[in-house]
Structure 1
Amino acid sequence: MSKLDGNERWKSKMLLTEHQEQYESRNKKMPSGRITTEELTLIRDSIMLPHMLTMSSKSLQEVQRSTNLFKRFFEQMIQMIMDSITQDLNKIHRELRQRNIKIYDDEMSDGIIYHRYFCRGYEDRFGIVREVLRSEISVRMAKYARSVLVSAGMSDSKLN
């Protein structure tokens, strides 16, 4: 028991934000140079989301050229999906910058897309199979479409 425990004046301590951050960063264990699974997920998403934007952009152009009765609705929906993807991509890029991770395009061989990355002085290659990327993109596109429809007022029960 310290001398200050009985003193009511010390029950509510005020701490400036920068002092709190310094204290937490001093006690926080710094990650090693090796990459974590969470960071690998960020890298995968930073590779996948630009492909999704390209696909959405092509779909938007196709819809704009069509004479479909619901053309305006589809244009708005695709644009909302593209906005959501762009927001997520910006968050991922910000997170990668904070973690000091840089990703570079590399090559594609035997149906595997490789990207080099640098993480806290550690260099490696990240590879993803095209078929896995396609299936993940289709799942993710469905999630984005569902979130757009839910935000537009459709209930989840109507979407199933």
Structure 2
Amino acid sequence: MSKLDGNERWKSKMLLTEHQEQYEQRNAKPVNQQTEEERYLVRDYVVLPHMLTMADNSHRAILSTANPLKSVIAVFLQVLMDRISGEIQRTVREFGKRNIRVMQDECVDGIYYYQVRCRGFTEKVGFTREVMRSEIRNKMTEFTEEILQRTGGKRA
């Protein structure tokens, strides 16, 4: 038998308002924060325009050379640019559906900062050049393999 057993005060299960608020704050998940998938969308939104610029610069450079394979390389780069443009459009559509806005904020010491507004929640995200290079390399490899598989080519 405990000390509380005859005490009628302990039979009710009342909870003070401030204790309820503290409990909810401790156990509540933030609703407005980005999901992992949305973070990947933001990363793609940042990286893809750089990829498109790189492919366009390469396309222009190859057209002005005397390379005997320039027509083949130019066609491949055009297909790659179309794929990148399609991915940018898909990302922008997803942003519209999910109510996400991304604006470039500043570039300090090689870190590109972006302001991400997601359902009323604002976050500042930074990407270093090394991270962007790595992501561009991964995406280029992914898109190249996809294009080669679509055309029936094999990667060496």
Which residue of structure 1 lines up, in the alignment, with residue 5 of structure 2?
A: none
Q: How large is the RMSD of aligned CA atoms in angstroms? A: 1.2
Per-residue deviation, 1:92: 0.7
Per-residue deviation, 1:150: 1.7
Which residue of structure 2 lines up, in the alignment, with residue 49 of structure 1?
A: 48
- Distance (whole Å) between structure 2 residues aligned to residue 139 and residue 102 of structure 1: 25
Unpaired segments ≥5 residues, structure 2: 1-29
The yes-or-no answer on 1:32 pairing with 2:27 is no
Per-residue deviation, 1:145: 1.4
Amino acid at match of 2:92: H
Once the two structures are superposed, the pairs formed by residues 9-158 of structure 1 within 5 Å of their partners are 32-155=31-154
> Deviations 1:124-157 (Å, cap 9, x if unpaired)?
11111111100110121122112112212214xx
Amino acid at match of 1:142: T
> Deviations 1:81-133 (Å, cap 9, x if unpaired)?
01111111111110011000001111111221110011111111111111110
SS at match of 1:69: coil
Amino acid at match of 1:77: F
Which sits farther off after the overlay, 134-143 or 42-51?
Answer: 134-143
Q: Percent identity?
A: 36
Per-residue deviation, 1:53: 0.3
Q: TM-score, normalised to structure 1's length?
A: 0.76
- Distance (whole Å) between structure 2 residues aligned to residue 34 and residue 148 of structure 1: 35
Q: TM-score, normalised to structure 2's length?
A: 0.78
SS at match of 1:35: coil
Find runs of 4+ consecutive structure 1 residues off by over 3 angstroms.
Answer: none
Unpaired segments ≥5 residues, structure 1: 1-30
